[in-house]
């Protein structure tokens, strides 16, 4: 099948490749001047990592593997230090390359390790989740977490290429695919309403990795991010729109000690931001209702339990968009019309929280989304 290339212009220009069976693209991205490659991967992807090693070793590269914990547990200074140690022991130079293989946490970590080793070596991202493909791996944001919050330590460091191999989605747990769709829906509300129409036309197909519409959703979401990042790499202005729903979402993640999937938290965060915009007089209620309707159709949560406001507000005050004591939110003036709301009153914020809160017993059960699936015993996909 054909490969779609979406160009991103940053401190270096690169392509996001979307398609199937993209293994053959790696040597061309790495180039002839490189000797060593470090593949940072999650444990469940040991098989694909070994296949990358075999393919690149056959192409003449010296390949090292670095297995890291799953999920947000990978994004710590301790894990980054282990990767740095491995790079040092192997003698990595500025001509060498790091590859991030896995979900958004793995690509965030790999990018941060590459950005900080020798003040910057090249990185190639190979996301294996929908969330990674449409968000984390594209745009050059890298980072790790601290006890105080998510992604508070990081750097802007663009990759030299991103490979979105759609074959990886075939064995992705349904809950993880649904969580990734929250970021896709976000792109629909801030930039490309056609995304919303595609999901509304057939939510079940949007959750079926073999359905053709999934490829179009990935392509459209990546194109949105590429346009924004190319115009504003370092989040000086326009790029902040990509954080729509994320201020409240990051607070949920921190409060839940990262037990929620990122996309689950983003789903609630999108509704919170929409309610905040409605309460502030920016957004009409029909678009707020559309948020809930679309996200619910995908099996995603749109409410958060009551009783946590003080903790959530404290976490939001540590958000990267906060300036001094002023909280700043990305909201909508209308469909595909994002703007900023600076310094909303605590009464307004609390009202938005009440609008998305529910007693735990009243929350709609989402077992396929909210509960972590048992580890799969299946062999990881032959994506590389």
The Cα–Cα gap between 311 and 114 comes to 34
Q: Which distant-in-sequence residues (6+ apart) come within 8 Å of 327 by Cβ? A: 247, 316, 317, 319, 321, 342, 343, 344, 349
Pairwise CA distance, residues 80 & 21, whole Å? 30
Residue 235 annotated in ligand binding: no
Is 141 part of any known ligand binding site?
yes
Contact criterion met (CB below 8 Å) for 277 and 341: yes
129 annotated ligand-binding residue: yes
Is 88 annotated in a binding site? The answer is no
Q: Is 110 annotated as a binding residue?
A: no
Q: Is 70 annotated as a binding residue?
A: yes
Q: Is 74 annotated as a binding residue?
A: yes
| Cα separation, 243 vs 3, whole angstroms | 28
Query: Distance between CA atoms of 259 and 365, rounded to whole angstroms?
Result: 16
Tell me if 75 is assigned to a ligand binding site.
Answer: yes
Is 232 assigned to a binding site? no
103-135 burial code (b ≥16 CB/10 A, e <16): bbbbbbbbbbbbbbbeeebbbbbbbbbbbbbbb
Q: Is 34 annotated as a binding residue?
A: no
Query: Per the annotation, does 225 bind a ligand?
Result: no
Could you tell me the CA-to-CA distances from 180 to 150, 313, 379 in Å, in that order?
18, 25, 22
Tell me whether residue 281 is annotated as binding. Answer: no
Q: Is 319 annotated as a binding residue?
A: no
| 106 annotated as a binding-site residue | yes
Residue numbering of the annotated binding site for Zn(2+): 183, 246, 262
Residue numbering of the annotated binding site: 70-75, 104-108, 128-129, 141, 150, 183, 246, 262
Residue numbering of the annotated binding site for NAD(+): 70-75, 104-108, 128-129, 141, 150
């Amino acid at each position: 099948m054909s490969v779609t290339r979406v160009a991103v212009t940053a401190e270096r220009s690169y392509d996001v490749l979307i398609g199937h069976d993209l293994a053959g693209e790696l040597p061309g991205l790495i180039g002839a001047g490189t000797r060593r490659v470090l593949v940072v991967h999650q444990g469940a992807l040991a098989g694909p990592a070994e296949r990358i090693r075999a393919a690149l070793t056959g192409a003449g590269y010296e390949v090292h593997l670095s297995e890291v914990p799953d999920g947000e547990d990978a994004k710590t200074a301790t894990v980054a230090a282990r990767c740095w140690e491995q790079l040092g022991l192997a003698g990595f130079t500025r001509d060498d390359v790091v590859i991030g293989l896995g979900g958004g946490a793995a690509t965030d970590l790999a990018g941060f390790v590459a950005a900080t080793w020798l003040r910057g070596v090249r990185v190639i991202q190979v996301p294996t989740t929908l969330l990674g493909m449409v968000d984390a791996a594209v745009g050059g944001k890298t980072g790790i977490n601290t006890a105080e919050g998510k992604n508070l330590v990081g750097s802007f460091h663009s990759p030299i290429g991103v490979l979105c191999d759609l074959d990886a989605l075939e064995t992705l747990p349904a809950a993880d695919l649904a969580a990734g769709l929250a970021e896709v829906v976000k792109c629909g509300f801030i930039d490309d309403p056609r995304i919303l129409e595609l999901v509304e036309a057939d939510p079940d197909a949007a959750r079926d990795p073999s359905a053709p519409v999934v490829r179009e959703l990935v392509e459209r979401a990546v194109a949105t991010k590429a346009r924004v990042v190319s115009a504003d790499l370092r989040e000086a202005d326009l790029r902040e729109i990509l954080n729509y729903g994320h201020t409240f979402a990051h607070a949920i993640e921190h409060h839940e000690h990262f037990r929620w999937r990122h996309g689950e938290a983003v789903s609630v965060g999108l509704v919170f931001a929409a309610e905040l915009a409605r309460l502030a007089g920016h957004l009409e209620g029909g678009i707020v209702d559309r948020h809930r309707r679309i996200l619910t159709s995908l099996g995603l949560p749109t409410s958060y339990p009551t009783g946590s406001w003080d903790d959530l507000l404290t976490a939001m005050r540590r958000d990267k968009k906060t300036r001094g004591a002023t909280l700043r939110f990305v909201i909508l003036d209308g469909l595909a019309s994002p703007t900023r709301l600076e310094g909303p009153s605590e009464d307004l914020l609390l009202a938005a929280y009440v609008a998305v809160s529910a007693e735990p017993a009243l929350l709609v059960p989402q077992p396929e989304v909210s509960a972590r699936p048992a580890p799969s015993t299946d062999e990881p996909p032959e994506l590389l």
